[in-house]
Amino acid sequence: MGMAVRTIRERTDEPASPFVPVGARIAAHAAAEGDRIALIHGEQRLTYAALNARANALAHALLRRGIRTEDRVALRVNRSPDAIVAILAVLKAGAAYVPVDPEAPQERLDTVIRQADARLLVTDAPGDGPVACPTLRLDDPEAFAGPDTEPDLAIHPDQLAYVIFTSGSTGQPKGVAVAHGPLAMHGETVGARYGLTGDDRILHLIALSFDGATEAWLAALTHGGRLVIGEPGTWTAGDTLDVIRREGVTVTGMSPALLASLAEAHREAGGGPLPMRSWTAGGEAFGIEAFQAVRNTFAPARIINGYGPTETVITPLLLAIEPDTPASAWDGADWLPIGTPVGARTAHVLDEALNEVGPGVPGELYIGGHGLARGYVGAPAETAARFVPDPFGVPGGRLYRTGDRVVRRADGGLAYLGRLDAQVKVRGFRIEPGEVEAHLLAHPRCREAAVSAVKRGEEAHLVAYVAGRGGEEPDSDLATALSAHLAERLPAHMRPSLIVALPALPRLASGKLDRQALPAPEWRGRDDAAPEGATEEALARLWSALLGVERVGRADGFFELGGHSLLAAKLVQKIREEMGAHVGLPAFYAAPTLAALAAQIDGGDEARALDDVDALLAEWEEV
């Protein structure tokens, strides 16, 4: 390991504050102002006193089930106040929560349970849990039988708090293990950077199975604010703006793509004042043009660009753009810079020998300090490869190799330049193409597979290129079979928008895949049957405009033409505005083709049941 020739770095120089567990901070608010509203979900309201008492009761139920310190408890819960109750209960019981998407395929659930070595599954989702793991349902009378006093347990800062699974390059997801100390530190310091108070109302729009979801409830509830639980799987941009106005939301966070979509919807609706004082974008690079449109639309609100891999505990770096921030803060950058460290963290830009490079010189970003995960559950070799000794810090300190290429700007902040490896971000979701490829190759008909993120306009789409076994013709039903195969194994955000079947994948003389020779995907309708009737014709015009395809046939599917959840949300809004039909987002799964969706709209019964739909597009979050 090379020693640094310079020690240029960005750090906060903030020592970690004395450790106070997250559960204890929230309990203090319950004791001081128990009648203050903590959680809002539709018409539901839960006070701090009720939240704390309910979490205590469930924590005692976990302890009666034999849950002990460091045990992992999987949470497969729908978006509701009890989802937050369950998280707090696990933390208060001294265990670690493992969030699982309720809509994830059973195989994914089984994989997470197995790799996390979960002792118990807590759920309110329909269906049976995995055989290898006992289940506690939240509607079981035992779950909240009490007592509602604080568990008599001491929580140590090095004790495991949660495990969140991310995409893994080996074909299996990897569990990132985070302790109580870094979690508590981040909640305290990010709330301070945001200037949160008990008067703030924070809108939660990110799926609980992603670490970005942690920041909203953590910052809101440890600072005495109100958490408004949103429904990203069923809300349109217009619905979100309506809730912001109705509930007086002041702070929220989401992916740049979703934030840009909200800004567009707000402009189209004529603008007007909103109670928002701070918008946060995170999960993927925020393009300068999109940022400026968002800033102009939501002025004078602050815009924050948050950055952070799961391994560095949510948002280790951020850049705050205040109303008076000059354009020099982002001039010359392709994407909005990612700013400076949050809390007791450091950020280094290093070369391959772990030497610091100077301002203006690109290098790999390494993050250190107090806000790092322990590592990967059950993967010591991968942990050692990504978490390396810190040559600049205290003995025993570590740095996390992010794999992100950055450059330090003249003002000391960092600018993101791209990835150094194959990992991609699609609509805010971190995806290892190798994991998707491994699942494709597990199908008996798939001989070769390559997965890439392909730009279509300003948006990235996941595209899979495959070749079949036994000389299958590329125009066979291979793509259809593989789509069904992935739907049973991967969450929706990891499934390719398009699967392109080829006779064989292109190879270099060395035998390696020639990615440059992969054909550009064709986003076009495949059905020659023209739309019939006024509803089909109107839908076809909307699909064509949103998806950028010249024609749409009766049997063409929205997602097969390159659609995704954000575009589906826009389409729902357009259908409501231009066709006067009230159709929910899940209709795109129930009626995947133009003709089927038109028939559902004309029938009207299921399409109008907006209050009963499930969050089948929970990847609209991001994050």
For residues 60 and 126, state if they share a domain: yes
Kindly state whether residues 448 and 475 are assigned to the same domain: yes
Residue 510: pLDDT band with limits 50, 70, 90:
low
Peptide bond connecting 623 to the previous residue in cis, omega within 30 degrees of 0 = yes
Q: How far is CA 270 from the centre of its chain?
A: 30
Do 32 and 119 lie in one domain? The reply is yes
When mean pLDDT is compared across 40-44, 290-294, 347-351, the lowest value belongs to: 290-294
Residues contacting residue 320 through CB under 8 Å, at least 6 positions apart: 193, 302, 303, 304, 339
Same domain assignment for residues 513 and 448: yes
Residue that finishes a domain, picked among 122, 138, 156: 156
Q: How confident is the model at residue 188 (pLDDT cuts 50, 70, 90)?
A: very high
Q: Report the CATH number at residue 509.
A: 3.30.300.30
Handedness of CA 506, 509, 513, 515 (dihedral sign): negative
Work out how many domains the chain is built from and give that number: 3
Query: 162 in a domain, yes or no?
Result: no
Which of 43-52, 128-137, 287-296, 597-606 has the largest mean confidence? 43-52
Residue 151 lies inside a defined structural domain of this protein:
yes
544 and 607 share a domain?
A: yes
pLDDT of residue 4: 32
Q: What is the pLDDT of residues 586-613, one digit of tens each?
A: 666 666 788 888 888 887 644 344 333 3
Choose the final residue of a domain: 108, 137, 156. Answer: 156
- Domain containing 37 — which CATH number? 3.40.50.980
**Is there a domain that residue 283 lies in?**
no
Q: Of the candidates 456, 487, 517, which is a domain's last residue?
A: 517
- Flag whether 217 is in a domain: no
Instruction: Compute CA 272 distance to the chain's CA centroid, rounded to the nearest angstrom.
Output: 29
**Rama region for 46: left / alpha / beta (φ>0; ψ in -120 to 50; rest):** beta
**Same domain, yes or no: 138 and 53:** yes
Q: Going along 523-603, which residue ranges are E strands?
A: none
Query: Is residue 251 assigned to a domain?
Result: no
Note down the domain range covering 64.
20-156
pLDDT confidence band for 70 (50 / 70 / 90): very high
Q: What is the DSSP letter of 579?
A: I
- 47 with 143, same domain? yes
Q: Give pLDDT, residue 36.
A: 96
Q: Same domain for 462 and 488?
A: yes
Angle at 618 between CA 570 and CA 597, to 5 degrees: 50
Q: What is the pLDDT of residue 608?
A: 43
Confidence band, pLDDT 50/70/90 cuts, at residue 619: very low
In a domain, 503, yes or no: yes
Give the length of the chain: 623
Tell me, yes or no, whether 510 and 546 share the same domain: no
For 505, which DSSP code? -
Question: Which whole number is the average pLDDT over 441-465?
Answer: 83
What pLDDT is attached to residue 547? 83
Mean per-residue pLDDT, 291-311 = 94
Contact assessment for residue 323 and residue 290, using Cβ atoms and an 8 Å cutoff: no
pLDDT tens-digit readout, 48-59: 999 999 999 999
Averaged over 291-298, what is the pLDDT?
A: 94
- For residue 8, name the pLDDT band (cuts at 50, 70, 90): very low
pLDDT value of residue 590: 67
Contact 123, 77 (CB under 8 A): yes
- What pLDDT was estimated at residue 302? 96
| Whole-number pLDDT of residue 588 | 64
Regarding whether 117 and 148 lie in a shared domain, the answer is yes
Q: Which two tokens stand for residue 442?
A: 């597990």
Q: Is residue 568 part of a domain?
A: yes
**CATH number of the domain within which 586 lies:** 1.10.1200.10
Based on the fold, state whether residues 442 and 502 are members of the same structural domain: yes
- Rounded Cα distance, 347 and 339, in Å: 10
Question: Which pTM value belongs to this model?
Answer: 0.78
Give yes or no for a contact between 447 and 434, defined as CB atoms under 8 angstroms apart.
no
The pLDDT-based confidence of 25 (bands split at 50, 70, 90) is very high
pLDDT band at 263 (very low <50, low <70, confident <90, very high): very high
Q: What is the pLDDT of residue 611?
A: 39
Residue-wise pLDDT tens digits, 144-178: 998 999 999 999 999 999 999 987 766 688 999 99
Please tell me whether residues 57 and 138 are part of one structural domain. yes
Is there a domain that residue 125 lies in?
yes
